Structure 1
Amino acid sequence: MAEIRTFLVESNDVGKRIDVFLSEKIEDMSRSRIQKLIEDNKIKVNAKEIKSNYKIKNGDEITVEVPKPVMLQIQAEDIDIDILYEDDDIVVVNKPQGMVVHPAAGNYTGTLVNALLKKCRTLSSINGVIRPGIVHRIDKDTSGVLVVAKNDYAHQHLAEQIKEHTVKRVYIALTEGVIKQDQGTIDKPIGRHPIHRKKMAVIENGKRAVTHFKVLERYKENTLVEARLETGRTHQIRVHMAYIGYPLVGDPVYGFKKQKFNLKGQALHAMVLGFIHPRTGEYMEFSSPLPDYFQNLIEKLRRMS
């Protein structure tokens, strides 16, 4: 059974947005979590569905249906993973290229979540059975640093930081072509491709996406860049770099059809992740070196240039 919480609006709160009002009243629930419940029609005013921007009125009766956490049913698997840091609230891992972050249709084993369920006693329940603990993702063929929440409190705080764009996320990428400018910013909205629904694209009515890039090295036909995410849209770096004419080397979706390095996926590595610890308030930053295949490719390109 879901827990039902009821609130009656008094005169001193009139005019507030409902998501702001409830985030002040419910200490263990973030504003983003409240907005998700509103989207799912779990929050009503006077028994009617509303939106997050609803301005509350004097005498409004607000009911909040808090779903009961679902017991995790994904199988725990004894898979070796590189844990960079762990405490009672979070676990930071260095995900290898080729590993899927969480189970999905047709792929329920061998994921990072399967591995974490074996090594951690608990993971947050906010994203349900399939994605426990997953606050943010990196693609299957992207390697690097990822933080996972072990409880709902940590999940809510980390999700809020991501939403406010305060999490530091630095990637290293290898592009096709030689980028002439030393640095730049790509501020173009990203959404689902209008025809190829499994792809993302720069589209007019997409969500705002901002990528800052800096050239680290230039080779004969390629460029090594540092990319910093201001936002975190699906496939953002891959889509943005392809949009300006420099797709990632090895990218099977947005890259060149003819691949010359025989890679297993795009040359993209999440090198640095920095955030405020949800419990202590301390800034923490983690990094991981480039995987061997990536480093070997760079050395090869240096010899060829």
Structure 2
Amino acid sequence: MTPRERSPPVREVRQLPVPEGLAGMRADAGVARLFGVSRAVAAQLAEDGDVLVENSPVGKSARLTEGAWLEVTLPEPARPLEAETPREVEGMDILYSDADVIAVNKPVGVAAHPTVGWDGPTVTGGLAAAGFRISTSGPPERKGIVQRLDVGTSGVMVVAASERGYSVLKRAFRERTVAKTYHALVQGHPDPFNGTVDAPIGRHPKAGWRFAVVSDGKPAVTHYKTLEAFPEATLLEVHLETGRTHQIRVHMSALRHPCVGDPMYGGDPKLAERLGLNHQWLHAVCLGFDHPADGRRMEITAPYPEDLSRALEMVRR
């Protein structure tokens, strides 16, 4: 039988009465808790008509009733990722390396590691192609990865080269002892010029592919200060206490000062076009951490890429 002739996988259907502990809970939250899927996946199942209560489809915000008969058609299991092929990454500079730590200046358009649906270059594939050993610790597709940067964000990224490096660095990021400094060019002028955004972040309620400040999100704290102010934009230095997905972009958007070049979170596309940007002006300039081997404090810095430098000079003029 050829691949084209194979039958599609059968999706699993689960049925049970709503437990007492889920009474009054939203359908998406209850399905996520019962079946171990993410809240976003549960919400999508409801929108697709795959969540039934008493044989009738319900929306993601419907409230569950104790004892009501719940039927959920679960999504197909994700296909396992194939082994990554080493692939040279143009423009990815090695900023520092030793037996425990590798620090790179990640270019825009490069993912941290392989993911389902991504066939572009990755940091891990680039390091393998350059002959670096990466720690075997961590999930199969994220071996050695202790932090990540968005595909559209450039700058310093650290990868564990050894098992010791992975263990120590992973704990340091979890305990928030790593100093993470970014520069962001945002539209307009934040008021105050220096401040802190303490607002929880979660999936956007109407667009699960992006994030937003939401009351039931995960805690997120961003500190910022103004480095330079221009007529139409401000260059900020940003320090993160937490590491939520898209945190800086979401918090700056919530202040109504989105990153220049970031239409996903409210950036002006005309300004981005004028500055020659096809991604957000956001760069991880420095990481400070204790070395896994001897505890000495290290600070790894990365210069701006050419397109960000050029756009910054344009707004200066």
TM-score, normalization: structure 2? 0.70
Contact kept? 1:83, 1:93, Cα under 8 Å: yes
1:177-256 to 2 correspondence within 5 Å?
177-256=188-267
Pairwise CA RMSD: 2.0
Deviation at 1:109, TM superposition (A): 4.3
- State the one-letter code of the partner of 2:150: D
Q: Number of matched residues?
A: 235
SS at match of 2:94: strand
Give aligned-pair identity as a percent: 43
Q: What CA deviation, in whole Å up to 9, does each residue of 1:86-120 have, x standing for no partner? A: 11111000011221211111224421111112224
SS at match of 2:197: strand
Q: What CA deviation, in whole Å up to 9, does each residue of 1:24-60 have, x standing for no partner? A: xxxxxxxxxxxxxxx9xxxxxxxxxxxxxxxxxxxxx
Contact kept? 1:170, 1:229, Cα under 8 Å: yes
Partners of 2:226 and 2:132 lie apart in 1 by 42
SS at match of 1:259: helix
SS at match of 1:206: coil
Tell me if 1:127 matches 2:132.
no
Partners of 2:269 and 2:306 lie apart in 1 by 23
**1:12 matched residue in structure 2:** none
Tell me if 1:288 matches 2:302.
yes
Equivalent residue for 2:95, pick from 84, 93, 96: 84
Q: What CA deviation, in whole Å up to 9, does each residue of 1:55-103 have, x standing for no partner? A: xxxxxxxxxxxxxxxxx92111233420011111110000112212111
Q: Return structure 1 stretches of 4+ with deviation > 6 angstroms.
A: none
Contact kept? 1:74, 1:108, Cα under 8 Å: no
Partners of 2:86 and 2:114 lie apart in 1 by 12
Contact kept? 2:201, 2:212, Cα under 8 Å: yes
Q: What CA deviation, in whole Å up to 9, does each residue of 1:5-40 have, x standing for no partner? A: xxxxxxxxxxxxxxxxxxxxxxxxxxxxxxxxxx9x
Contact kept? 2:149, 2:157, Cα under 8 Å: yes
Contact kept? 1:137, 1:146, Cα under 8 Å: yes
Contact kept? 1:138, 1:146, Cα under 8 Å: yes
Residue 201 to residue 128, structure 1, CA distance change in 2 (3 Å): same
Partners of 2:141 and 2:120 lie apart in 1 by 11
SS at match of 1:198: coil
Contact kept? 1:74, 1:129, Cα under 8 Å: no
Greater displacement, 73-82 / 285-294? 73-82
**1:167 matched residue in structure 2:** 178
Greater displacement, 294-303 / 102-111? 102-111
Partners of 1:108 and 1:125 lie apart in 2 by 22
Partners of 1:196 and 1:105 lie apart in 2 by 20
Partners of 1:252 and 1:113 lie apart in 2 by 28
**1:176 matched residue in structure 2:** 187
Partners of 1:105 and 1:182 lie apart in 2 by 40
- State the one-letter code of the partner of 1:282: R
Tell me if 1:299 matches 2:309.
no
TM-score, normalization: structure 1? 0.73
Partners of 2:88 and 2:131 lie apart in 1 by 11
Q: What CA deviation, in whole Å up to 9, does each residue of 1:111-165 have, x standing for no partner? A: 1111112224532233323222111001111110010001222112111111111
Deviation at 1:257, TM superposition (A): 5.3
- State the one-letter code of the partner of 2:310: N
